[in-house]
Structure 1
Amino acid sequence: MRSFVRYAGSFPRHYCWIRGGSMDRNTELETGCTGLNKESKPWARGQQKELLKQLRAPRSMRFMKVLIPRLVDESNHNAQNLNARALLKAWAPSDIQFAAFADSDDIRPEISRHHIFRLIEGRFWQWDCLIRYLGSYDAIFYPGHQWFDAWGIRLRKLIAKKVPVIATLEGIPWMPPETKMELEKKVGHEIHTLSFEASKHYVKVLAMADHVVAISPFLAEIGKFLFGDKFSVIPLGVDTEVFYPAVGSQKRERITVVCAGTAYPLKRPELFLALAKAIPDADFKWYGGDRDGLLERLKAEQRMQRITNLEFVGGVSPEELAEAFRKADLFVLPSLSEGVPKVAQEAAACDLPLILFGFYEAPTLIDGKNGVVVWDDDELISTVGTLIRDREKLSCMAMSSREMAKAWEWSLISVQWLEELRENMRAGSAT
């Protein structure tokens, strides 16, 4: 007989369909089955059967279960979600079952081999995420920094089985002014943090995490200063199936300078207006969506100043962005607060020299080798003007970017991340 079982604590329309028998509340929490019914995708039904099989097996024969509370469907282009998707694409260990989230059915086959929770639609999806944190797992890996992530970890520590929580540090969180001044003395230069609003839940996640992976040595230094000695360093990877150099040389009369990122104040896209105005013999292009109408205001300012060598392209797919990078000559990132900008790694993988600010000490750029580190806006504008007139230097820097990017392939980097996860799970089981 078919029975429909409601997921514990979830919402009325979320059910798990099982052939025969019944499922008690503990089994619901063990499987985490939800959003599945007889019309579910075949891979989802297969995951459910495999989980039930594991539950009935002796404990010594069960695989470990790890929750990666990130959205991994194809429609989501958030940088951290893309990282999680890249890791899941690379990982297929026989002894670990990974679980992640999706808010659509657009999931690649290599991702769907993992256990994917289809979140409920509408405004309650965040509560759905929170509830998932309370399932039966052996570790929580790569949590986000939204309110439901912080509360999910907090509630789990209060009412569920204690398991290792392994977070990541990918940016400099907000801190009180006196703490910031002390840290700046320690690192020897000014730093720029995320906003308080962007950091308020992030710092809670970092504080509650048992271990944190920083994506650069500089971030690890900051993390240890703020949260204690629980940091390791592993870089992020690049999807080299998408971001790769152009084939053959492409000589162009005019130099094209590019940047990519959602247009909001922290990214400072208005600096591209200043660049285009100061350097009329080059073309400037900004790729990325709008936030709060900033792009429209910049376009209006551009029309008013009659700047014709600048284009705000808007949002594009990763494939389109990679193609744009291959047609460009130089990548410039105006933002002052970053961790290790993923987009700069992607640009380097497409053979582009980089110009970045030095406040976040990105290992993506070695000053003078594959680009230039700058420290103020005037220096940035001057450096761009100098480089675009030295094609030989641009070419040498482009080759260096290409060589450096070979070490960032996810196929190599993902091995380090998996070993870090295993090590923390072993440490957690020993305590």
Structure 2
Amino acid sequence: MAKLLLSCDDYVFRCNGKYYARTQEKYDFYQRYLRVFDKLRLVTRCVDEKQLGKSRVSLDDSRIEFVPMPFFSGPLQYAKAYYKIYKQLKGITDGCDAAILRLPSTIAQRVCTKVMKSGIPYATELVFDANDAMDNATNPIERLLWSNIHRQMVNACNHADGVACVTEHYLQKHYSSQKLDAFFGHYSSLALDKSFYTGARHFPIGKEISIAHVCTQVQFKGRKGYNEVIEAIAKLKKRGVDVSVNFAGPDYHDGISKLTNLAQTLGVGDRIHFIGGVSRTQLSEYLEKSDIYVMPTWAEGLPRVIIEAMAKGLPCITTPVSGNPELVEEHFLVPYYDTDTLADRIEELTKDVSLYEKTSRVNFERSKKYEASLLEARRDDFYHNLMDKIK
């Protein structure tokens, strides 16, 4: 009976003493580890709710043990929760046979210290490139924070029995294991069911082009390029190119209000829309109604939403960072701050029928590599390799 210790940068909900996942997708995410391991000790942040949210999915499973960490967001809230987390992590590896640490994650990194001291075998799953975040940070404080996270990730991976990356090649340049008998894997955390796929697109004739952008936080001057997209739309308006943008995602630190003001200042308030967070079903419908996916970003792992947009046949424009070049053709990789070229690429797709349809076909075919059953097989192999390390 092998018990896995899992820690990740996520959170669960607790209501009346019972635990819940945010969505069905998150429930399925935890279940994937139980395909190979018999029991799971989950160490992650926890949000207490007096009244259960509508999208919550029960995690009532006798095989899952919860170690709830205080919920925090950002360095200041983390500092306040630091000592409480310290107490919660006492004896965290007791009774566990192996560990998986999903990085970067503040909680998982602290768990890693305990795991390394305990001597149980462990693996890392890398979902984001802290090195790129460090290099492209917009201010010295962010750069310092990401530099520290990057060093911690390098150290965690150097001593790991196994290292898996969401990219096929890129993250591996920065993170690997120095153990002679280490094993390696690559797979996205995406679970893209065949039913999600549509097909290549025909050029949208006779309608205003609709741009999609999806993120978990709508943040002013954030790393996902909201400001840059709005600036590009303003430049397109001056060229006489009519396009609109629907930003999907929940508000973060009053980002929607600030971005709305920016759009109005630039004269494109009527072309910028914020639709809030979307469920899995809503995401599918939202992407199907869109014509182009645009996401300038200064750091990623392998962005799931770009793969999802490709599965809907959308031409995609992003930046040449992290795993993005593994997904998108070079012509549509635009430097983060180059809003002139970003506007050029959008304009090309609105006017060149052949380019639009060719890009759609290429993207759709590439997305097939990330179908759920293919990724599931690679994940299971990686987890079985960790099982083999248990003494």
Q: TM-score, normalised by structure 1?
A: 0.68
Whole-angstrom CA distance in 2 between matches of 1:248 and 1:359: 26
Displacement of 1:384 in angstroms is 0.9
Whole-angstrom CA distance in 1 between matches of 2:361 and 2:200: 13
Deviation per CA, 1:17-65: give whole Å up to 9, x if none.
Answer: xxxxxxxxxxxxxxxxxxxxxxxxxxxxxxxxxxxxxxxxxxxxxx211
Whether the 8 Å contact between 2:132 and 2:299 is mirrored in structure 1 is no
* One-letter amino acid matched to 1:165: Y
* One-letter amino acid matched to 2:265: M
Whole-angstrom CA distance in 2 between matches of 1:213 and 1:247: 31
Displacement of 1:165 in angstroms is 1.9
Distance 1:298 1:366, change over 3 A: closer
Displacement of 1:197 in angstroms is 2.3
Q: 2:333 aligns with which of 357, 363, 373?
A: 373
Distance 1:411 1:356, change over 3 A: same
Equivalent residue for 1:263? 218
Q: 1:245 aligns with which of 198, 208, 223?
A: 198
Whole-angstrom CA distance in 1 between matches of 2:101 and 2:192: 22
Displacement of 1:356 in angstroms is 1.6
Whole-angstrom CA distance in 2 between matches of 1:91 and 1:252: 48
Displacement of 1:236 in angstroms is 0.3
Deviation per CA, 1:116-140: give whole Å up to 9, x if none.
Answer: 4163777878457634732311211
Equivalent residue for 2:128? 171
Q: Which has the higher contact order (CA 8 A, sep 6+)?
A: 2
Whether the 8 Å contact between 2:212 and 2:292 is mirrored in structure 1 is yes
Equivalent residue for 2:349? 387
Q: 1:274 aligns with which of 231, 237, 252?
A: 231
Unaligned runs of 5+ in 2: 14-19, 73-80
Alignment of 1:418 with 2:380, yes or no, is yes
Whole-angstrom CA distance in 1 between matches of 2:183 and 2:129: 14
Equivalent residue for 2:112? 153
Displacement of 1:95 in angstroms is 5.7
Whether the 8 Å contact between 1:338 and 1:360 is mirrored in structure 2 is yes
Whether the 8 Å contact between 1:72 and 1:85 is mirrored in structure 2 is no
Q: Aligned pair count?
A: 344
Bigger radius of gyration: 1
Equivalent residue for 1:65? 3
Equivalent residue for 2:259? 298
Whole-angstrom CA distance in 1 between matches of 2:91 and 2:325: 35
Q: Mean Cα displacement is larger for which, 91-100 or 337-346?
A: 91-100
Equivalent residue for 1:137? 96
Alignment of 1:97 with 2:57, yes or no, is no
Q: What is the Cα-based RMSD across aligned positions, in Å?
A: 3.6
* One-letter amino acid matched to 1:154: T
Q: How many percent identity over aligned positions?
A: 17
Equivalent residue for 2:152? 204
Distance 1:387 1:284, change over 3 A: same
Whole-angstrom CA distance in 1 between matches of 2:36 and 2:170: 35
Displacement of 1:357 in angstroms is 1.2
Whole-angstrom CA distance in 1 between matches of 2:34 and 2:253: 40
Whether the 8 Å contact between 1:72 and 1:101 is mirrored in structure 2 is no
Whether the 8 Å contact between 2:245 and 2:272 is mirrored in structure 1 is yes
Equivalent residue for 1:405? 367
Q: 2:250 aligns with which of 289, 294, 302?
A: 289
Deviation per CA, 1:67-97: give whole Å up to 9, x if none.
Answer: 22244666547xxx96x75444445547632
**3-state DSSP class of the match of 1:223?**
coil
Map 1:217-366 to 2 at 5 A.
Answer: 217-224=169-176, 228=178, 232-241=184-193, 243-245=196-198, 253-261=207-215, 262-264=217-219, 265-280=222-237, 281-307=242-268, 308-366=270-328
* One-letter amino acid matched to 2:279: S
* One-letter amino acid matched to 2:218: A
Displacement of 1:302 in angstroms is 1.6
Deviation per CA, 1:324-368: give whole Å up to 9, x if none.
Answer: 111001111111222211211121122211112113242552417
Equivalent residue for 1:215? 166
